[in-house]
Structure 1
Amino acid sequence: MYLEKRWGQYATLILLAFVWGSSFILMKIGLKSFTSPQAAAIRIVSASLALLPLSLRHIKQLKRKDLKSLLIAGFIGSFIPAFLFTKAQTRIDSSMAGMLNSLTPMFTLFIGLAFYKIKILRMQVIGLILGLMGAAGLIATGEDLDLSNINSYAFFVVLATICYGTNMNEIKARLSHLSGIQITSLSFMFLLPVALGYLLTTDIRTAITHEGWGYHLMALMVLGVIGTALAMLLMNSLIRHVPPVFASSVTYIIPVFAIGWGVVDGEVILPVHLLFMALILLGVYIINSKGKFRIIGHFRMLKRKNSNRKF
């Protein structure tokens, strides 16, 4: 399988960054007609319906021992963050949301160490720090970042990153025996009735009176199908083959694509942007080193000892 190979892991990570890097603008479009809870519910319903054929196909693989972890993957990994992000974006801009989203690897590490007893190398911690510095640098040098926009709504994004960190560790620790398709489809099967039931209790009639509501609805549906269903399929498949911290480092790469969209739109890319991009890629590479640096250091130490022996 391609995810067992290093190139496949990096390709998946970059694809996820591209997809999720486009999610903020889709949320912003959807919020023009729909309230934040409605937008989140539409996103989850769209994703669940897209995954429903797979859910029905794999329902036979549903076992009682996996139920708790699948509920965590569904509600903590997707449902709750969807509502938190749309709520946050009613009061903070996309750049600020992107910067706060970069906290995900840190929380993944902290939660993994505290509750899942994961092992991490010193070099991977260094990779985390480099990636965070690169992501923060890219966003800080952008034109849209307004630090005065930090308010209590920013904590919704922070809470979402904690949810992501919990989800990644839970999948790695307790659902690795299932495929990414099984994890995603079965977890979203539980979300459909909850999200749809909630959506039907909201004032949809008012939302559809807004000009362009159909376009705004389409943006949320695309966000659900591609930015949630497809993205979670890729992410849950990736987590089974790599450390959770590496999978979560996708949030470092998202600002790279934000800069890329700006270039397409006619913005100028500066040398400092390239520097921060290189810092991010170096950090991600080190995170996924899988002990490579430790092995090299150990080999050098043995070689030094052997050279000092007297024969």
Structure 2
Amino acid sequence: MNIKKMWLIYLMLFLATSTWGSAFIAGKIAIESFEAATVAFFRFLGAVILLFPLMWYKERNIPKPTKEDWFLFALLGLTGICFYNIFFFLASKHAPVIKSSLFIASNPVLIIILSALFLKEKILKNQVVGLVFALFGVSFIITNGNLSIFLTMAFEPIDLILIGAVICWALYSVIGRVVLRKYSSIVSTTYAVCFGTLFLLPFALYETTVSDLTNSTIDAWVAIGHMSVFVTVISFIMYYYGIQQIGAARASIFINFMPISAVIMANVFLNEQLTIPHLIGAFFVLTGVTLSTYKKGWKSSKNEKKQRTV
């Protein structure tokens, strides 16, 4: 691969993961007109309408799912699409974007732990060090720098919502690794989004009235459309193209741009204040995530070169 193409792939990965950060801002706007499950439902309804034609165009020989496969797709939809996004948009409504984005940035660390427990993947020394850094950073963000709160357990209710979001996404990622052994990323995501949209429908019907629809703002629909098209579909295509070209380990490092872009946009568009505890916590979270993934990515790159030589 020539240098020009490599930098183009890096640019695509940067744009994809930075666009994910805009979901925090769009969610903050959409949640002013609708409740959490309704925003999530409309977001993924739009995404699934785009994903199915894309899947049929890209995939020629899709394996026929078994009952066990359908169960796994349903679990993906329940954890990563339904409950994660309900928690995500509740956080968008009740927590500052800066806090939510930095908190959710710790996801890769929990994924490493669950992968070791359920998939029997080996945890490396750098991942243990990264875990300690990231957990300290998240603790600093939750407590706003006052770690003594842990002694009295005086957490805010929204912190439990954010913990739920992190757990749901980690479960989605681990289950997804099992599904990806048989299906491509676009097939897995399309079926997961389809199931997730169906699971979100009852919640959306329960909490949404006709007046909510008629009184909703144009900004809310633009924000939902942005999350459907750019955050869910286009960024997904760019990110998985990057994985295809340079491998999942190296591509995952770019996820660190997600909280950074969210923090910058929250500061610019929503006038949210970036505090010293936020900066300290962000440093530890991003350092921990990078330590957990970078060395693995370097080794993967080295192995890829050896395989090409052979």
What is the TM-score normalised by the length of structure 1?
0.70
1:289 to 291, 295, 301: 295
C-alpha deviation, 1:81, in angstroms: 0.8
One-letter code aligned to 1:257: S
In the alignment, structure 2 segments of 5+ residues that lack a partner are: 146-153, 303-310
Say whether the 8 Å CA contact 2:143–2:155 is kept in structure 1: no
State the match for 1:45 in structure 2: 45
- For the residues of structure 2 that align with 1:271 and 1:40, how far apart are their CA atoms? 32
What is the percent sequence identity of the aligned residues? Answer: 22
Shift of 1:62: 4.3
Decide which of 117, 121, 132 is 2:120's aligned counterpart: 117
Q: Is the 8 A contact 1:129 1:283 kept in 2?
A: no
Tell me how far apart the structure 1 counterparts of residues 281 and 199 of structure 2 sit (CA, whole Å). 45
Structure of higher RCO (CA pairs closer than 8 Å, 6+ residues apart) = 2
In the alignment, the residues of structure 2 paired with residue 82 and residue 9 of structure 1 have an alpha-carbon distance, to the nearest angstrom, of 28
CA distance in 1, matches of 2:133, 2:6: 20
Cα deviations by residue, 1:76-103 (Å, 9 ceiling, x for unpaired): 2222211111123332222221232133
Residues 189 and 39 of structure 1, relative CA distance in 2, 3 Å threshold:
closer
CA distance in structure 2 between the partners assigned to 1:291 and 1:229 by the alignment: 25
Contact conserved, 2:21 with 2:258, CA < 8 A, in 1? Answer: yes
* Correspondence for 1:90: 93
Q: Which moved more, 1:233-242 or 1:118-127?
A: 233-242
Write the letter of the residue equivalent to 1:154: D
Where do 1:154-193 residues align within 5 Å?
154-193=159-198
- Using a 3 Å threshold, how does the CA distance of structure 1 residues 141 and 239 change in structure 2: closer, same or farther? farther
The structure with the larger Rg is: 1
Equivalent in 248, 258, 261 of residue 242 of structure 1: 248
Deviating more after overlay: 264-273 vs 75-84 = 264-273
Residue by residue over 1:133-189, the C-alpha shift from the partner in whole angstroms, topping out at 9 and shown as x without a partner, is: 6788799999xxxxxx95223212211211211222222234134322222223223
Correspondence for 2:79: 76
Q: Whole-Å Cα distance in 1 between the matches of residues 136 and 7 of structure 2?
A: 24
Residue of structure 2 in register with 1:63 after alignment: 64
Aligned residue in 2 for 1:14: 14
Structure 1, unmatched stretches of 5+, are 143-148, 297-311
| CA displacement at 1:115 relative to structure 2 | 0.9
Equivalent in the alignment of 1:309:
none
Corresponding position of 2:223: 219
**Residues 126 and 197 of structure 1, relative CA distance in 2, 3 Å threshold:** same
The reply to whether residue 25 of structure 1 matches residue 32 of structure 2 is no
Could you say if the C-alpha distance between residues 40 and 192 of structure 1 is closer, same or farther in structure 2, counting changes exceeding 3 Å?
Answer: closer
Specify the code of the residue in structure 1 equivalent to 2:218: G
SS in 2 for 1:114: helix
Letter in 2 for 1:288: Y
8 A Cα contact 2:107 2:170, kept in partner? yes
The residue type equivalent to 1:173 in the other structure is V
Q: How many residues align?
A: 285
CA, structure 1 residues 98+199, in 2 after alignment: closer, same or farther (shift >3 Å)? Answer: same
Separation in 1, partners of 2:289, 2:229: 30
Which deviates more from structure 2 when the two are superposed, residues 122-131 or residues 235-244? 235-244
Q: CA deviation at 1:9?
A: 7.8
Matched, 1:152 2:153: no
Would the aligned equivalents of 2:30 and 2:220 in 1 still touch at CA under 8 Å? yes
In 1, the alpha carbon distance for the partners of 2:297 and 2:207 equals 51
Asked if 1:103 corresponds to 2:109, the answer is no
Matched-pair contact (CA < 8 Å) for 2:106–2:134: no
Would the alpha carbon gap of residues 9 and 178 (structure 1) be closer, same or farther in structure 2, given more than 3 Å must change? farther
Q: 2:212 aligns with which of 198, 207, 211?
A: 207
Cα RMSD of the aligned pairs, angstroms, is 4.4
User: Do 1:123 and 1:286's aligned partners in 2 also have CA atoms closer than 8 Å?
Assistant: yes
Normalised by the length of structure 2, the TM-score is 0.71
In 2, the alpha carbon distance for the partners of 1:55 and 1:193 equals: 19
Q: State the alpha-carbon separation in 2 of the partners of residues 247 and 291 from structure 1.
A: 9
Q: Distance in 1 between matches of 2:29 and 2:120?
A: 41
**Distance in 1 (alpha carbons) for counterparts of 2:273 and 2:90:** 31
CA contact (8 A) 1:39 1:86 kept: yes
CA–CA distance in 2 between the matches of 1:237 and 1:161? 25
